[in-house]
């Protein structure tokens, strides 16, 4: 089943063509009007240069007028001859037959009955185009109509292709495939969502999560912010660095730059409640701090980091390179990657 786009939106068309397997584009004067296009001829010329096959309307009240309109469009200087769309009618099938005799492709559309489809087939229509959504709006069995068209073509050997049009949703596309139609033309809003599925998204997320756990290392995601204080600095200095980093702790080092411990926002609240504001000018060494922080090597796998946070039930761990702290891994970093759930906050 060939895939066509039903649109006159140039950005949509470019996006659809990026798939690489769109066979053509169907248009209508109504689409152009709704999209604010006033230079229809200019739009047709531009579209002909964009798509593999363009289908445009050749309107007329008589066969002569239909042929004349087709010839006028051809004279615009298109990239290649388009498929001419002609509404079904007695005059329309005559116009179709004349255009086909001249070697042009014709899409006979606005078909609602099998009898109409039969007349288009006899006239040599390249495409037979019933409208699924519109038929269903009026309470008709559109799917049976498409099945009957396909059956008639197969039974009698007509060269026409059945085009499934007036697509409203993804279920229409599924039904089109099951009916055996040759072409399905659809709006980009439907086309771009055909690959979407919640179970697929869940499975893909799990694969990415497990791949990251087994291949990515702590140093690959550690935050650039690395608030570090010497134990001889004041609590006020530690508070400033902690606030600027937007982390819940500041790493403490000794005179040689080796990890000495951590001072957390929890420590800050407890110390202020116990001893008051007077401690702000005291050194961190004098106030006291945790000398046994949870640490992880920068080259450790994320899987190890996840296990440590779960086991220790902490929000942050210090990332070290040997004895020196090089950053902080926060639980939020792992949650954003989908490696931990919100329950670990």
Residues labelled as active-site residues: 85
Length of the chain, in residues: 345
The residues, ordered by sequence, that sit 6+ positions from 152 with a Cβ below 8 Å of its Cβ are 114, 117, 118, 121, 158
- Closest among 145, 63, 76 to 111, alpha carbons compared: 145
| 3-state DSSP assignment of residue 322 | coil
Phi, psi of 10 (to 5 degrees): -60, -35
Torsion of CA 218, 220, 225, 226, to 10 degrees: 40
Return the axis-axis angle of helices 198-215 and 302-312, rounded to nearest 10°: 100
Q: Which residue has the tokens 């009026």?
A: 138
Cβ contact 130:165 at 8 Å? yes
């Amino acid at each position: 089943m060939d895939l066509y786009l039903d649109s006159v939106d140039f950005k949509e068309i470019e996006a659809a063509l990026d798939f690489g397997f769109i066979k053509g584009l169907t248009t209508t004067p109504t689409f152009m009007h709704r999209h604010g296009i006033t230079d229809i001829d200019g739009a047709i010329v531009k579209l002909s240069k964009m798509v593999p096959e363009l289908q445009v309307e050749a309107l007329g009240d008589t066969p002569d007028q239909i042929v004349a309109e087709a010839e006028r469009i051809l004279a615009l200087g298109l990239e290649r001859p388009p498929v001419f769309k002609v509404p079904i009618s007695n005059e329309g099938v005559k116009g179709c037959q004349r255009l086909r005799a001249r070697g042009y492709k014709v899409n006979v559309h606005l078909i609602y009955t099998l009898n109409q489809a039969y007349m288009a087939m006899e006239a040599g229509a390249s495409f037979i185009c019933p409208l699924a959504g519109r038929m269903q709006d009026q309470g008709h069995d559109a799917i049976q109509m498409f099945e009957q068209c396909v059956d008639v073509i197969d039974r009698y050997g007509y060269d026409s292709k059945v085009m499934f049009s007036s697509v409203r949703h993804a279920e229409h596309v599924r039904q089109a495939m099951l009916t055996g139609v040759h072409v399905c033309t659809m709006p980009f809003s439907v086309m771009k969502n055909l690959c979407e599925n919640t179970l697929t998204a869940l499975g893909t997320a799990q694969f990415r999560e497990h791949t990251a756990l087994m291949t990515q290392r702590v140093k690959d995601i550690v935050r650039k912010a690395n608030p570090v204080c010497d134990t001889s600095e004041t609590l006020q200095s530690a508070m400033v660095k902690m606030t600027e980093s937007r982390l819940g702790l500041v790493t403490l080092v000794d005179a040689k730059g080796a990890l000495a411990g951590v001072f957390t926002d929890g420590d800050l609240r407890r110390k202020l409640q116990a001893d008051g504001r007077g401690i702000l000018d005291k050194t961190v060494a004098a106030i006291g701090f945790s000398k046994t922080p949870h640490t992880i090597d920068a080259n450790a796998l994320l899987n190890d980091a996840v296990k440590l946070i779960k086991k220790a039930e902490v929000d942050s761990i210090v990332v070290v390179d040997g004895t020196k702290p090089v950053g902080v891994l926060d639980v939020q970093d792992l949650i954003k990657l989908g490696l931990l759930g919100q329950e670990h906050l």
